[in-house]
Structure 1
Amino acid sequence: MPKCNHCGAHVSERFARVFADERGEIHACVSCSANAGIAEAARERARGT
């Protein structure tokens, strides 16, 4: 099962298909980011890596 690279929480395969970056990494999930800002937080965190 995929997990968030930021907090380590497990996420669903469906969540990973939608929010993972081009390398398949998930930089934000519902456990570590506000629901409305997941995509934005993921982009910001990906830029920092």
Structure 2
Amino acid sequence: MPTCDHCGSHVSEHFARVFADERGRVLACPNCSANAGIAEVARRRTRTA
């Protein structure tokens, strides 16, 4: 079961396929980011990680 690497919440397989980075990490999810900004938050977290 995929989880958000930032907050640990469960995410669906489909969500992980769409929003995971090239290593399969999900850096933002609806529980820890605004839905409209998930991709942008994930990009920012990737830069700082």
Kindly report which structure 2 residues correspond to 1:4-19, keeping only aligned pairs within 5 A, or say none.
4-19=4-19
Shift of 1:17: 0.2
Number of residue equivalences: 49
TM-score, with length taken from structure 1: 0.98
TM-score, with length taken from structure 2: 0.98
Counterparts of 2:48 and 2:17, CA distance in 1: 21
Shift of 1:11: 0.1
Name the residue aligned to 1:46.
Answer: 46
Q: Among the aligned pairs, what percent are the same residue? A: 71
Shift of 1:19: 0.1
Deviation >4 Å, runs of 4+: none
Unaligned 5+ segments in structure 2 are none
Counterparts of 2:31 and 2:46, CA distance in 1: 17
